[in-house]
Amino acid sequence: MADIIQLLPDSVANQIAAGEVIQRPASVVKELLENSVDSGASHIQLIIKEAGRTLIQVIDTGCGMSDTDARMCFERHATSKIREANDLFAIRTKGFRGEAMASIAAIAHVEMKTRLHDQELGTRIDIEGSEVKRQEIFHCSPGTSIAVKNLFYNVPARRNFLKSNSIETKHIIEEFQRLTLAHPEVGFSMHNDGKEVFHLKAGSIRQRIVEIFGNPINEKLVPLEEATSIIKITGYIGKPEYARKTRGEQYFFVNNRFIKSPYLHHAVQSAFNDLLNSDSFPSYFLYFDVKPDFIDINIHPTKTEIKFEDEKSVYAILRSAVKLSLGKFNIAPTIDFEMEASMDIPPPPKNMTLIQPEIKFNKDYNPFKIEKTTASGRTKDKILERSKRDDWRKLYEDIDSHAGKKTETEIELKPIIPEEEQEKLQVKKHHYQLHNRYIISHIKSGMMLIDQHRAHERILYENFLASLEVGVSINQQHLFPHELAFSPADFNLLLEMEEDLRNLGISLRQIGKNTFAVDGVASHFPSDNIPQLLDDMLEFFKNEFSESRNRHDALAKSLARKSAIKYGKALSTEEMSDLVDKLFACKMPYYSPGGKPVIIKLSLDDLEKKFQK
């Protein structure tokens, strides 16, 4: 039998490696930006077109490369960071495996221009699918410029699996933000399809956070600092009152490398246990400085997961540091959601004389003195005060006038259960509200309970989805428009959704850099809290948007969830009837947009079984 095991060609091996390292355009951005940081650049520029499909270019002012190094960097396992195995446990740079550039060159057209600072001329290299097409001496600026064009051109299956431009751009921005937060000492800029998205100056960590997420976040941050013999933690945590319902700004950095760690996240979350609801998430920007031999970063291809030598100690230190920071800055002791603001009374001045108040009362008043009288055949208690007597008389007159009257009439409604059951039901004209949360209705076979929030969410979702498809909506113009400032990323996301929001009834107008004016909103939106509505909608869209859904669906779900009536809201009989009628006019009244039940039906048999237990 002939030998069948062979060595793979380099081009095939590189494509296989690219499948692990390069998952989407954002992966290319991450690798190129990390290389630029490792080069010692003081400023790095990122340029993308068509969400990275057409072009991803990174230009830096780093050390540059010689012509030999420029050629060698595209070879697999070629690296300047490691000479022996022990070097793996003393790594403080971003890249070290020597796989990124080889993987990128295997699945794209790559053009590199690089020059050492002490040289007058540089080098240009053009590569297509791991094959060097050209290498020549070239006149260029000091540093390195790498342009990756036509990503996945020779792997069409991978290219077809890429998501929409807005989703891929979102992932690119996430990678850009992670790296820029890790290195505030470096200036960064980003251009998307010819428009500047970010222009970040070198500065402190707090300045970088504010530049990325906008000025409003500045007042939400509390500094944190803790130093021990095994780890040093610095950074900022968000105040509890600004916690979000979705995972927002949550960042861990270990030796200036972004990592994901559910274990450390649990430590932060547990420190907020007494300050937050279970469905709220705090913001944090935390930087860990540890000795390289205390961690192992070589456990994941993208290096976003690491292993601590003593995880339990790190957990305890982090949790304690967060609690200490909250207490130090008077956050924890003053957070009492039950306390009235009026009870927070400042102490009097030192020289002020306190006068005891005088209490006046009627010594002859007897609250237990009651007179018995008879009226309409009944014995009634009359309190001697005239105002009280009048209130009681009105109460009994109301009781007498309503005695024996029926207050409910029955009307026919269309079937409210699945069509296959074909059961004609009788629904009372008057509905009842239970704990300001559920609507109870009497039906022929028993009773039904309707979740008022989910019902309204279903109604709004289908209305919003129809508006997005048809493109027609009416809004109420504001006399004085709201002016709202956003972070660069949120501003560009709103620009993309501007037409969709207009179709939904939210009229936005750009009035400056990263600033919109809200000229009007449709009547079904809470006009008194548009900033919070947009902020919540952006958070939902960024953090909970499933890539399998289209944007219209995600946008309709987000706005319906935020605009629906809340639990605890009392509804009038007319409002309940209107809600029920609109619910059963929906295409799918039985489930919320998130797939949770809206209606629960209890038959007479079910109720009878409950009483037989």
The string of pLDDT tens digits covering residues 81-105 is: 555 555 555 556 665 556 788 889 9
β partners of residue 145: 59, 113
Take residue 539 and report the two structure tokens written for it.
């958070």
Query: What residue spans of 134-204 are helical by DSSP H?
Result: 156-160, 165-182
Q: Which fold has domain 419-613?
A: formyl-coa transferase, domain 3 (3.30.1540)
Best mean pLDDT range from 17-21, 118-122, 372-376: 118-122
Instruction: Judge: domain 208-328, CATH 3.40.50.150.
Output: no
Best mean pLDDT range from 34-48, 413-427, 501-515: 34-48
Query: Which is more confidently placed, 125 or 247?
Result: 125
CB-based burial, 393-428: b 16+ in 10 Å, e otherwise: eeeeeeeeeeeeeeeeeeeebeebbeeeeeeebebb
Span 472-493, average pLDDT: 72
pLDDT band (50, 70, 90) for residue 411: very low
Take residue 419 and report the two structure tokens written for it.
């069509």
Take residue 100 and report the two structure tokens written for it.
């990124």
Query: Which is more confidently placed, 413 or 613?
Result: 613
Span 47-68, average pLDDT: 94
Query: What residue spans of 295-385 are helical by DSSP H?
Result: 311-328
Say yes or no to pLDDT of 186 above 60: yes
Q: pLDDT tens digit string along 336-365?
A: 444 444 444 556 666 667 676 677 767 776
Measured in degrees and rounded to the nearest 5, phi and psi for residue 131 equal -100, 125
Say yes or no to pLDDT of 78 above 50: yes
Integer angstrom CA distances of residue 26 from 129, 230, 549: 19, 34, 20
Query: How large a percentage of the chain has pLDDT more than 90?
Result: 33
Span 131-135, average pLDDT: 92
58 vs 101: CA distance, rounded Å: 13
Query: What residue spans of 217-290 are helical by DSSP H?
Result: 262-271
Say yes or no to pLDDT of 446 above 70: yes
Say yes or no to pLDDT of 156 above 60: yes
Res 333: pLDDT: 45
Q: For tokens 């807005």, name the residue.
A: 166
CB-based burial, 276-292: b 16+ in 10 Å, e otherwise: beeeebbbbbbbbebee
Res 379: pLDDT: 44
115 vs 105: CA distance, rounded Å: 20
Res 115: pLDDT: 95
pLDDT band (50, 70, 90) for residue 334: very low
Res 346: pLDDT: 56
What is the 3-state composition of the chain as percent helix, strand, coil, each rounded to the nearest 5? 35, 25, 40
Say yes or no to pLDDT of 598 above 60: yes
* Mean pLDDT of all residues belonging to the chain: 79
441 vs 452: CA distance, rounded Å: 12
292 vs 86: CA distance, rounded Å: 11
β partners of residue 258: 253
Residues 258 and 305 sit within 8 Å (Cβ to Cβ): no
With a CB cutoff of 8 Å and minimum separation 6, the contacts of 275 are: 240, 326, 331, 332, 335
Residues 287 and 181 sit within 8 Å (Cβ to Cβ): no
β partners of residue 111: 126, 147
Span 153-163, average pLDDT: 86
Kindly state the DSSP code that residue 242 receives in the 8-state scheme. G
Res 509: pLDDT: 85
Amino acid at 591: Y
Number of Cβ within 10 Å of residue 348's Cβ equals 9
- Neighbour-count burial of 171, counting CB atoms closer than 10 A to its CB (0-12 exposed, 13-18 middle, 19+ buried): buried
pLDDT band (50, 70, 90) for residue 490: confident
Residues 69 and 86 sit within 8 Å (Cβ to Cβ): no
Q: Which class in CATH covers the domain with range 10-203?
A: alpha beta
Q: Closest Cα partner for 518 from 538, 494, 540?
A: 494
Take residue 154 and report the two structure tokens written for it.
């020779």
Say yes or no to pLDDT of 369 above 80: no
Pairing of strands 143-149, 187-192: unpaired
Q: pLDDT tens digit string along 512-548?
A: 778 888 887 777 776 667 777 787 777 766 665 544 4
Say yes or no to pLDDT of 375 above 70: no
Res 303: pLDDT: 63
pLDDT band (50, 70, 90) for residue 137: very high
What is the separation of C-alpha 107 from the centre of its chain, rounded to a whole number of angstroms?
Answer: 33
Say yes or no to pLDDT of 569 above 50: yes
In this prediction the pTM is: 0.69
Take residue 498 and report the two structure tokens written for it.
């501007």
Res 397: pLDDT: 53
Per-domain residue ranges for the chain? Answer: 10-203, 208-328, 370-399, 419-613
DSSP SS3 for 308: strand
Angle made by CA atoms 272, 277, 282, in degrees to the nearest 5: 45
DSSP SS3 for 8: coil
Say yes or no to pLDDT of 421 above 50: no
266 vs 82: CA distance, rounded Å: 34
Kindly provide the residue ranges of all beta strands, DSSP E only, lying in 106-229, ordered along the sequence: 109-115, 122-128, 131-138, 143-149, 187-192, 195-200, 221-227
Kindly state the DSSP code that residue 532 receives in the 8-state scheme. H
